[in-house]
Amino acid sequence: MSRRRAEARRRTGHERLPAPALVLALVAVAFFALPFAGLLWRAPWSEAWSILTSVAVRDALRLSLVCSLSATALSLGFGVPLAWLLARGRFPGRGLIRALCTLSMVLPPVVGGVALFAALGRRGLVGRWLYEWFDVTIPFSTPAVVIAETFVAMPFLVLTVEAALRGLDGRVEDAARTLGASRGYVFRRVTLPAIRPALGAGAVLAWARALGEFGATITFAGNFPGTTQTLPLAVYLSLETDPPEAIVLSLVLIAVSFAVLVGLRDRWLGGARHAPAGLP
């Protein structure tokens, strides 16, 4: 390599990749880009507007948003205390509980759906009492969609927040307590602000996972338009009956997910890269 090229490389700070690695990396990029290109290429652009404004699609979109946002809210409400327990609790079997609470991340979602059935179904472990005592049936209802989505999405939030809590300097919370702050006040005014980037990142991850949830939902909640048919389910159904509609709906999901990733990257995900707000 000539001296000048080496000098230029040193100045820009860019390391030239070995050619074979570069080729493989470009193949990987193509692997991710091609399916989207295919969708765009096959999309029935002339019918797109009428498909998007049809009642069935509007229902599915609305249901998807309502359920995924509800699942995110539930994940925040229960997941933050769970993350706190896992990060700060001192009790035997903590590793086991963490594994249990994040199992649904690696489980095939269908299995999660079956398990939810066994627990909350009309003849399930808990579900039978709900039915007998309160006449409540959970499966195949909109709440079932929210439960299924929460089941698979919450671990993403729990793990993200737990990592942030672990990285926190506990002495800052000590300092707050010596200033007269109760544990609850310390959590609200010191701990939460410090883990806010992780909280945002975890919530976005959980929401994205809930929005795309398919397996657990269709198993536990079924596929009823208007009550349990979310966008991914609608895509699956229309693939057999109306392929152009499936493509348009897929594009909608892609657009939403992509917008979230790009739009929130700097605000939340990027923020999580830095140490939580100035703690050493």
Binding stretches for other proteins (CB under 8 A): 169, 171-172, 174-182, 185, 189-190, 193-194, 277-280
Task: Locate all alpha helices (DSSP H) within the chain, ordered by sequence.
Answer: 3-12, 19-42, 48-52, 55-88, 94-101, 103-106, 109-120, 127-134, 142-167, 170-178, 183-186, 192-194, 196-212, 215-220, 231-241, 243-264, 270-273
How far, in Å, CA of 188 to CA of 16, rounded? 48
Distances (CA, A) of 80 to 145, 165, 188, 196, 208: 21, 10, 12, 11, 18
* Pick 9 or 189: Cβ nearer other proteins: 189
Considering the complex, what minimum distance in angstroms separates the CB of residue 75 from other proteins? 24
State the minimum distance, in angstroms, from the CB of residue 183 to other proteins. Answer: 8
List Cβ neighbours of 218 (8 Å cut-off, separation of 6 or more): 113, 233, 236
For the CB of residue 171, give the shortest distance to other proteins in the complex, in Å. 6
Place of tokens 């390599």: 1
Minimum CB distance to other proteins smaller for 128 or for 177: 177
Q: Which is nearer to other proteins, 145 or 195 (CB)?
A: 195
Minimum CB separation of residue 280 from other proteins in Å reads 7
Integer-rounded Cα Rg, in Å, for the chain is: 23
| CB nearer to other proteins: pick between 138 and 194 | 194
Residues with Cβ within 8 Å of residue 125, at least 6 apart in sequence: 118, 119
Measured distance CA(202)–CA(102) in Å, rounded? 13
Nearer to other proteins, 7 or 174 (CB): 174
| Smaller CB separation from other proteins, 146 or 190 | 190
Q: How far apart (Å, rounded) are the C-alpha atoms in residues 245 and 220?
A: 25
From 58, 260, 71, 90, select the one nearest 147 (Cα to Cα). Answer: 71
Phi, psi of 146 (to 5 degrees): -60, -40
Give least dist CB 198 to other proteins, A.
14
Looking at beta carbons only, is 94 or 177 nearer to other proteins? Answer: 177
d(CA 174, CA 186): 9
